[in-house]
Chain A
Amino acid sequence: MALCFLARTVYSDIRHNFLPHYLLAAAIVVITPLFFSVSELDSRQAAQPLEMIISLTGTVLLTPVFMPEQNESIRDLIRSKKAPYLLTCMIRLLIGLLLLAVLTGISVLYMKKCHSQVTFRHFTGTAASAMALGSIGFFTAGVSNNVIIGYMASLLCYILNFIARDKLGIFCIFSMMNGSYDEKKWIFVLSFALILSVFMYFKLIRKY
C-alpha cells in the first residue's frame, strides 16, 4: 500500500510538475562538456566545472519542491487528501536529492573517463555545493510560499560566491577550486539544517 502510494506520487509529480526541472538539470550536465573542457584536468581545474556549473543542478532540482501548491486551489485539494502533505514534499525532496547525486556522479565519472584527476571527494564536494544551493532555494521558497523567491535566494548565493568567494569563509561553495575541502562539511550541515527547519516550520507554525 505504502509502495503503491509512493509510486503514484512519483509518477504524478514527474508527469505534471517536475519533468521540466529534471530535464533542465540533465541538460546542465549534458551541455557542460560542450562548453568547458573536462579532459585531462588536475584536481583544482576539475573542481571548476563541477562547482561552478554542475552545482546549479541543486537550484533546479530542490527549489521547486513546493511549487505545485503555490496555486491555492491545488494546495487545498492536496491538503484534503488522506496522504500527509509533508510526506509528499519529502518524497519529492528525496527524488531531487537522488537525481542530484546521480547527475553529479555521472559528471564525475565522465571526467574520470576523460582522464581528469577526480576522486570521491569531488563527488561529495560537488553534491554538497549543489545541496547548499538547492536547500537555500528550498528553504526560502517554503517559508515565503513563493518559488521565485526561492530561485532568487539560491542564485544570489551563487552570484555572491562567484564574485566574492574568498570572503565567505566556511560558507564558500566553490572551495575545491581553491584546493580546500574543509568548507564542505559546514555547508552540508547548513543544508541539512535548512531542510529540517522548513519541515519544522510547516509542522509547528503552519500546522500542516
Chain B
Amino acid sequence: MLAVKEIKFSAEALKKVDEIVARYPEGRQKSALLPLLHLAQAEFGWCSTEVMDYVASLLNINPIEVYEVASFYTMYHLKPSGKYVLEVCRTGPCCLVGAEKILSILERKLGVKEGEVTPDGLFSFKGVECLAACGYGPVLQIGPEYTFYENLTEESVDELLTQLKNKN
C-alpha cells in the first residue's frame, strides 16, 4: 500500500493562497474558493473529500460549502481520472465540422469509453460543452494547464497521443 499523501499545500502554493485571499475585502475570503479549488486540483490531481476539507479549513468555512460548490462546476474532478483528460467540445458549431468523429476516433484509439481511464492510467476523454473556440473546431483541451489543440484531424489526434505517451 502506498502511504496516503498528506493533504497540505507546498510552501509555494501556500504563498499563492495568501495572495489570492488578499484580492477580496475583509471577511469575503470565501470568494477565493473557486481559485483555491483549481490550485488544489493542480496540486493533488482531483478534489477528494480530504482535499475539499483542507480547502475549507484554509478559508475558515464549512466543508459543505466547498462540496456544494465543487459539485456544481464541471471543471472539478470528484473522482480520480487519467493523467491526461482529453476534453473534446461536442457543441453544435464544432459538430458542424466533425467533432463527433473525433470523439469516436478517441474511443477507438484509446479502447475505453467516455469517462473511463486507460489501463496504464494515462488517458481518459470526455465530451464537454462549447470552449469558446468554435472557429477552430474540432477542438480539445487538456488540463491542468488547459492547453488547446485546434482543427483536429485523425492524424493530429494520432500525433498528440503518441507525443503524450512518449513523455511518460
Same complex for A and B? Answer no
The chain B residues found within 8 Å of chain A, CB to CB, are: none
